[in-house]
Structures are given as structure tokens and as C-alpha cells.
């Protein structure tokens, strides 16, 4: 176990408070990146005290692998017009930064009033592109993690904690 459930709850509450403070009198749109961010996004949205709307995107650069291919594909685009909106992208994890860099460029082309990133987990040691989240839950070591929305081959998302998957387990 890397991050227990109680620590997750504390961090989400803290992030919700900071975001609420920063977005007073703003037109906040949370964009959850499917599927990994769903659990974090749900908990975070309940901790945010300012009015907000939700939308979702689905992107992939992993497939069934544990390593990013670097090729980003949009599987589901936004339903909302973000022109003039204060957009907060909610991600489960930032790894190489390639997917998020692509998303930032794509979303900025739609003229939001502001665009910020909230990541539950951050692995800066794996970064290939310099990208830093505006709101960050935990910085973690270069381990393959699952739980709290993160998966391995669509399994383990429902764990209430974040755990490390050993290389021997990945082979099973």
C-alpha cells in the first residue's frame, strides 16, 4: 500500500478547499479524464463549494500496456463549449506528461478563460515534457500504481487506496 484511504480523503478535502477559494465568482468547468479520474473527480467535486459543471474526455496513450506509447488518441471529446470558461482538467496521474501536454494544447485552442490542471498523483521522475500541475495530490516514486481509479488492464480501479503492483503480479 502506497497511500491509505484516510490520507486520500484528507488530501481531496484539502484540494477541494484550495480550488473553492481560487474559483470564487468564476465559471468553473471540471473536465474529468476518463476512466482513471472518475473516482477522484467525484470525491473532489463534492469537496468544492463553488458552483461548477462537469464534462469528460477520454484519451489514451497506454492501451493494455504499463508504459505510455506517446501517441495520444481522443476517444471521447467534450460536450461543452469551453470558450470563455474557467477550465480545470482533473487527472488521476501525470507520468511522462505527453498526454497532458497534448490535451493542454488541444483545450487551449478552444479559448478557455483559464486552463489549469489538478492531478491526484504526480510522477515527475518519468517526465518527458515539462508540465507541472496547478493542484497536486501526491508526488510518487516511479512505481506502477493501481487503486482509487487507477488500473492495470481495467482491474483494481475500485480499491479505496493506492497500491504498488509488483512486476511479478503484472505478468499474471
A 10 A CB-CB count for 96 gives 17
95 flagged as catalytic = yes
Indicate which residue of 86, 92, 95, 151 is catalytic.
95
Residues near 13 by Cβ (< 8 Å), separated by ≥ 6? Answer: 47
A 10 A CB-CB count for 106 gives 15
Helix, strand and coil content of the chain, in percent to the nearest 5, comes to: 25, 30, 40
- How far is 120 from 101, CA to CA, in rounded Å? 17
Catalytic residues: 95
Amino acid at each position: 500500500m502506497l497511500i491509505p484511504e484516510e490520507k486520500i480523503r484528507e488530501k481531496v478535502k484539502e484540494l477541494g478547499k484550495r480550488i473553492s477559494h481560487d474559483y470564487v465568482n468564476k465559471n468553473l468547468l471540471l473536465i474529468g479524464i476518463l476512466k482513471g479520474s472518475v473516482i477522484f473527480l467525484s470525491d473532489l467535486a463534492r469537496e468544492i463549494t463553488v458552483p461548477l459543471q462537469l464534462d469528460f474526455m477520454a484519451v489514451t496513450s497506454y492501451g493494455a500496456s504499463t508504459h505510455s506509447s506517446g501517441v495520444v488518441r481522443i476517444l471521447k471529446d467534450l460536450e461543452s463549449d469551453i470558450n470563455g470558461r474557467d477550465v480545470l482538467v482533473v487527472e488521476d496521474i501525470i507520468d511522462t506528461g505527453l498526454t497532458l501536454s497534448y490535451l493542454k494544447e488541444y483545450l487551449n485552442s478552444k479559448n478557455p478563460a483559464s486552463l489549469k490542471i489538478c492531478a491526484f498523483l504526480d510522477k515527475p521522475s518519468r517526465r518527458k515534457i515539462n508540465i507541472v500541475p496547478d493542484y497536486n495530490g501526491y508526488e510518487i516514486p516511479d512505481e506502477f500504481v493501481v487503486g482509487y481509479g487507477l488500473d492495470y488492464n481495467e482491474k483494481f480501479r475500485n480499491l479505496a487506496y493506492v497500491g504498488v503492483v509488483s512486476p511479478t503480479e503484472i505478468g499474471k
